[in-house]
């Protein structure tokens, strides 16, 4: 039912659909001279592309709902730890974002002014709830299901790549890989897609909230025209400004990286898993540790000992693995590179 070939084919079809769909819509909009606002863009993207892709996959493959999407309960403390992980990795994601702007354009800055024109809670729904739910089901649940025979490292990397691909630009792709791979690992730890949804929502909602708070503060000390000018100017910072931002954010990130590490270790411990050797384990073996340890109280200690033995770890890896570099995956990578470079040169 699940396989690497199916997963890679799904990625290729999805990215092709995203690109052709966007090009078709852009052509229609330009031809008919229609005005598409911020709300329409988000709804088309999240419902017409992301959510529809998930629904189509489930209907076509007739996959079981809960096992495929990993919809399992998450404990309250685990959820709170996920919120902490989200906040602690945000500085590092910002470092990657700023660094990428030395070479490529920031593709999301253009939406800043548009966001501020709408009610806060409505924007949270569009920019935080929808992406957190639909994008996680698409790039985490479905990838994990099809890559369950592969190692945890491979599954997380492919999930991160796919998460980067769907953003269709180099700027977001770079930090999306890191964010996506980490969220995939957290899902494997908790066995619940809710953990990734919580992290994704927290990051997006925090960024949106900071934008609104900044808007309120600036408006309190300046007129609206000055505010608009400052925000518009921030869309194209100089290399000197980027360098200053990069240094400041890097120092900030160095403080939070150990916190993120400790939180992830805490999550591992709470779910009867250990980090050492886990990246070499088949995904399905790593995920089952939590369930089996509930039945067999000695399983946790036995598994910890086994993970410390390289030979044991290698013996757990499924022998008959398929190559992950199938033609559909290579085509997907090529399509993304070509399209994103074209977008970069045209912007």
Question: For the segment 209-264, what is each residue's pLDDT rounded down to a tens digit?
Answer: 998 998 888 777 765 555 555 555 556 788 898 999 999 999 999 999 999 999 99
Q: How far apart are CA 116 and CA 145, in angstroms?
A: 38
pLDDT in tens, 261-297: 999 999 999 998 888 888 889 999 898 875 544 444 4
> What is the reported pLDDT for 61?
93
Look up the pTM and report it.
0.88
Computed from CA positions of residues 65, 68, 71, 72, in that sequence, does the dihedral angle turn out positive or negative?
Answer: positive
Q: How far apart are CA 227 and CA 231, in angstroms?
A: 6
Q: DSSP character for 30?
A: H
**Domains identified in the chain, total number:** 1
Q: DSSP character for 102?
A: T
Q: How far apart are CA 128 and CA 111, in angstroms?
A: 14
Report residue 154's pLDDT band, with 50, 70 and 90 as the boundaries. very high
> What is the reported pLDDT for 315?
45
Percent of the chain at pLDDT > 70 equals: 85
Contact criterion met (CB below 8 Å) for 166 and 138: yes
Averaged pLDDT for residues 92-100? 94
User: If you average pLDDT over every residue of the chain, what do you get?
Assistant: 87
> What is the reported pLDDT for 156?
97
> What is the reported pLDDT for 297?
41
Residue 221 belongs to what domain range? Answer: 4-346
């Amino acid at each position: 039912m699940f396989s690497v070939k199916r997963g890679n084919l799904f990625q290729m079809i999805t990215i092709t659909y995203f690109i052709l769909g966007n090009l078709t819509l852009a052509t229609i909009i330009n031809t008919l001279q229609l005005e598409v606002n911020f709300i329409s863009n988000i709804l088309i993207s999240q419902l017409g592309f992301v959510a529809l892709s998930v629904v189509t996959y489930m209907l076509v493959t007739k996959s079981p709902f809960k096992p495929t999407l990993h919809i399992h309960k998450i404990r309250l403390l685990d959820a709170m730890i996920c919120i902490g992980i989200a906040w602690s990795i945000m500085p590092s994601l910002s470092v990657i974002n700023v660094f990428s702007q030395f070479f490529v354009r920031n593709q999301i800055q253009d939406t800043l002014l548009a966001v501020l024109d709408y009610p806060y809670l409505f924007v949270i729904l569009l920019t935080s709830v929808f992406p957190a739910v639909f994008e996680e089901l698409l790039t985490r649940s479905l990838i994990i299901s099809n890559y369950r025979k592969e190692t945890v490292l491979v599954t997380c990397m492919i999930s991160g790549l796919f998460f980067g691909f769907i953003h269709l630009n180099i700027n977001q792709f770079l930090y999306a890989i890191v964010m996506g791979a980490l969220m995939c690992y957290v899902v494997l730890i908790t066995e619940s897609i809710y953990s990734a949804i919580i992290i994704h929502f927290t990051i997006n909602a925090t960024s949106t909230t900071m934008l609104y708070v900044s808007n309120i503060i600036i408006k309190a000390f300046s007129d609206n025209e000055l505010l608009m000018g400052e925000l518009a100017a921030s869309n194209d910072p100089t290399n000197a400004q980027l360098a200053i931002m990069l240094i400041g954010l890097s120092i900030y990130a160095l403080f939070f990286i150990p916190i993120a590490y400790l939180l992830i270790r805490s999550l591992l411990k709470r779910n009867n898993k250990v980090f050492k050797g886990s990246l070499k384990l088949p995904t399905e073996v790593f995920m089952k540790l939590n369930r089996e340890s509930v039945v067999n109280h000695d399983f946790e200690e036995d598994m910890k000992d086994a993970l410390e033995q390289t030979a044991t770890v290698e013996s757990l890896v499924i022998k008959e693995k398929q190559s992950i570099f199938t033609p559909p995956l290579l085509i997907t990578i090529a399509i993304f590179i070509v399209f994103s470079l074209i977008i970069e040169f045209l912007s």
